[in-house]
């Protein structure tokens, strides 16, 4: 039996952010990861010399400090660097046509003028002006300053003047972005575009996405000299950087450590039992980076009130994913390929309709080290719009499953053929992932993208639980889904466990105060 201060269940970005910061604060921390690879949905894997991202592929706010991105704030707090390559343009294949677009406020006006005319440009420019105070409000308090206890009065105090200044806007940010959008934007193309951005941010369209998330994006994507970034080495490099920071500060990561149950004694979480029956005891806290549904499975039946279990079990969920990972021969490809493309098949179906939106990532365009010379690595996925129900109960060894894989992957092939017409003949590695793949490798309830809690129906819950000693972080915890959000959740959980003085010292170190 091992003993430690704090156990973190799961090495997703939220869990690693939390654990690394806790180690920086001086706690003894052990991270238990079921998989043989750390990183959760952000892990990387290799096949035949091709290095694939399993999940996120679009990053911003990581290449400079101070940054409003909570993930950058975590890296600054643990003293870690993440080399990135920057770019500012990606491709769009929409029902109206194909075009390239950029971060920054002006270039999209050119797109609107081409497709919709002067009135649409005027609306967009008005929206930019309307969003300015909301964007300022969204970044007025750095996530690094937040904690869920009375100590927040001191850690947030340095930002009080900004908080008071933006108080009215901050209140409005708690509602759905559609309330702002509907007052300003009437053009159908622009409304579709904004719904698409919301869906990519949160898994929900504008009427379910919080205005705060969109305001944060406006602050980052539409500021002067805005850029997007890609970590050199892919998402695996981000994971490795967090693990390195954790271990440099004395923390420990255990791979292949599948947590079967949270140990509860005297109405308090005191450790975990692994699949091999080994127990690890935690004197201060157990932190779950698993989803809300998977966390509940780890708790003894009587450990939490039945009403709480029932309510959290009923949390609505986003759909799952289809993945297409390809290693291809890049000889003779067009020279103007972009790293990312977004494909929308039919606006009328809605951005969240099954298989209607496809995302394409070709990161070896930016980082050639991800593929052998003369090759490219490609990740195509349907972002949180693949129903789990049509896969539920299928036997992965049966031909029925193989046939459905081929059939449901076709929309991704067709999207990619709009960019690389002869893609099928170029493939040297072809891997198809389904919701069952997502569920199996990520130990994730129904392979879901995460909770679908619409803005205005209540905030994501904080890190606390009814069980003393059990804390949560990750995409089921405030502020919600996405890399910046889960990093923020990990930070908040870590901050809540440390002393206010150590928290304030960290804020000074990363130049927040």
Both 207 and 258 in a single domain? no
Q: Within 10 Å of residue 276's Cβ, how many Cβ atoms?
A: 9
Domain containing 203 equals 104-141+155-219
Asked if residue 442 is part of any domain, the answer here is no
Asked if residue 416 is part of any domain, the answer here is no
pLDDT more than 90, % of the chain: 80
Query: By the 8 A CB rule, do 387 and 354 touch?
Result: yes
pLDDT digits (tens, 9 = 90+) for 474-496: 999 999 988 999 999 999 999 99
Q: Locate tokens 């080495």: which residue?
A: 233
pLDDT more than 70, % of the chain: 100
Element (H, E) at 131: helix 118-138
> Residue 458 pLDDT more than 90?
no
Both 122 and 196 in a single domain? yes
> Residue 65 pLDDT more than 90?
no
Q: Which of 161, 160, 102, 167 is nearest to 133 (CA)?
A: 167
> Residue 222 pLDDT more than 80?
no
* Confidence band of 136 (pLDDT split at 50, 70, 90): confident
Both 209 and 243 in a single domain? no
Query: By the 8 A CB rule, do 443 and 294 touch?
Result: yes
Both 211 and 272 in a single domain? no
Q: Which of 219, 247, 273 is the last residue of a domain?
A: 219
Residues 6+ away with beta carbon under 8 Å from 86? 63, 227, 228, 229
Mean of pLDDT values over 425-436? 96
Asked if residue 99 is part of any domain, the answer here is no
Asked if residue 440 is part of any domain, the answer here is no
Beta strands in 437-506 (DSSP E): 470-472
> Residue 179 pLDDT more than 70?
yes
Asked if residue 173 is part of any domain, the answer here is yes
Q: What is the CATH number of the domain that holds 288?
A: 3.50.50.60
Asked if residue 389 is part of any domain, the answer here is no
Both 197 and 240 in a single domain? no
The tally of domains found in the chain comes to 2
Mean of pLDDT values over 4-25? 98
Tokens of 377: 């690595």
Let me know how long the chain is: 513
* Confidence band of 406 (pLDDT split at 50, 70, 90): very high
Q: Which of 219, 246, 273 is the last residue of a domain?
A: 219
Residue 82, classed as helix, strand or coil, is coil
Mean of pLDDT values over 426-447? 94
Handedness of CA 329, 330, 334, 338 (dihedral sign): positive
Predicted local confidence at residue 202, as pLDDT: 87
* Confidence band of 7 (pLDDT split at 50, 70, 90): very high
Asked if residue 254 is part of any domain, the answer here is yes
Predicted local confidence at residue 221, as pLDDT: 80
Asked if residue 435 is part of any domain, the answer here is no
- The whole-angstrom separation of Cα 100 and Cα 90 is 6
pLDDT digits (tens, 9 = 90+) for 287-346: 999 999 999 999 999 999 999 999 999 999 999 999 999 999 999 998 889 999 999 999
Q: Within 10 Å of residue 334's Cβ, how many Cβ atoms?
A: 7
Q: Out of 67-71, 186-190, 214-218, 360-364, which region has the weakest mean confidence (pLDDT)?
A: 214-218
Mean of pLDDT values over 56-71? 89
Mean of pLDDT over the chain: 93
- The whole-angstrom separation of Cα 497 and Cα 503 is 10
> Residue 456 pLDDT more than 80?
no
Both 178 and 267 in a single domain? no
pLDDT digits (tens, 9 = 90+) for 362-393: 999 999 999 999 999 999 999 999 999 999 99
Mean of pLDDT values over 274-292? 96
For the chain, the first-to-last Cα distance in angstroms comes to: 42
Residue 395: C-alpha distances to residues 392, 401, 459 (Å): 9, 6, 37
Q: Which of 192, 219, 246 is the last residue of a domain?
A: 219
Both 299 and 245 in a single domain? yes
> Residue 189 pLDDT more than 80?
yes
Residue 106 vs residue 465, higher pLDDT: 465
Predicted local confidence at residue 105, as pLDDT: 66
- The whole-angstrom separation of Cα 483 and Cα 34 is 20
Query: By the 8 A CB rule, do 414 and 361 touch?
Result: no
């Amino acid at each position: 039996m091992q003993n430690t201060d704090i156990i973190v269940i799961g090495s997703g970005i939220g869990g690693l952010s939390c654990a690394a910061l806790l180690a920086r604060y001086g706690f003894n921390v052990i991270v238990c990861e079921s998989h043989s690879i750390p990183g959760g949905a952000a892990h990387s894997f290799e096949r035949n010399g091709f290095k694939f991202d399993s999940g996120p592929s679009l990053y911003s706010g990581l290449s400079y400090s101070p940054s409003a991105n909570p993930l950058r704030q975590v890296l600054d707090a643990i003293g870690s660097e993440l080399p990135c390559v920057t770019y500012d343009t990606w491709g769009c294949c929409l029902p109206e046509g194909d075009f390239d677009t950029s971060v920054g406020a002006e270039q999209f006006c050119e797109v609107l003028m081409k497709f919709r005319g002067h009135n649409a440009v005027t609306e967009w420019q008005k929206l930019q002006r309307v969003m300015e105070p909301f964007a300022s409000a969204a970044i007025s308090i750095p996530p690094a300053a937040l904690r869920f206890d009375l100590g927040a009065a001191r850690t947030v105090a340095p930002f009080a003047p900004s908080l008071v200044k933006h108080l009215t806007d901050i209140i409005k940010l708690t509602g759905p972005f559609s309330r702002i959008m509907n007052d300003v934007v009437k053009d159908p193309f622009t409304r579709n575009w904004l719904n698409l951005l919301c869906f990519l941010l949160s898994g929900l369209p504008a009427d379910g996405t919080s205005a705060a998330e969109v305001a944060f994006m406006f602050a980052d994507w539409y500021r002067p000299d805005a850029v997007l970034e890609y970590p050199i080495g892919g998402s695996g490099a981000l994971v490795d950087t967090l693990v390195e920071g954790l271990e440099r500060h004395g923390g420990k990561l255990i791979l292949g450590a599948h947590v079967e149950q949270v140990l509860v004694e005297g109405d308090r979480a005191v450790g975990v039992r692994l699949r091999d029956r080994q127990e690890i005891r935690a004197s201060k806290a157990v932190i779950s980076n698993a989803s809300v549904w998977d966390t509940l499975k780890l708790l003894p039946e009587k450990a939490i009130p039945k009403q709480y279990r029932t309510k959290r079990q009923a949390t609505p969920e986003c759909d799952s994913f289809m993945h297409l990972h390809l290693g291809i021969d890049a000889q003779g490809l067009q020279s103007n390929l972009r790293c990312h493309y977004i494909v929308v098949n039919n606006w009328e179906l809605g951005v969240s309709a099954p298989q209607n939106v496809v995302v394409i990532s070709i990161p070896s365009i930016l980082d050639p080290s991800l593929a052998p010379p003369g090759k490219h690595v490609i990740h195509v996925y349907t972002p949180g719009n693949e129903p789990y129900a049509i896969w539920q109960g299928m036997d992965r060894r049966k031909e029925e499953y193989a046939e459905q894989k081929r059939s449901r992957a076709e929309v991704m092939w067709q999207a990619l053929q709009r960019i690389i017409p002869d893609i099928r003949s170029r493939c040297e590695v072809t891997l198809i992932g389904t919701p069952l793949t997502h569920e199996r490798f990520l130990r994730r309830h129904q392979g879901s993208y995460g909770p679908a809690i619409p803005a205005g129906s209540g905030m994501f819950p904080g890190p606390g639980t009814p069980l003393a000693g059990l804390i949560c972080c990750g995409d089921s915890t405030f502020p919600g889904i996405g890399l910046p959000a889960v990093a923020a959740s990990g930070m908040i959980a870590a901050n809540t466990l440390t002393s206010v003085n150590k928290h304030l010292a960290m804020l000074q170190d990363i130049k927040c105060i």
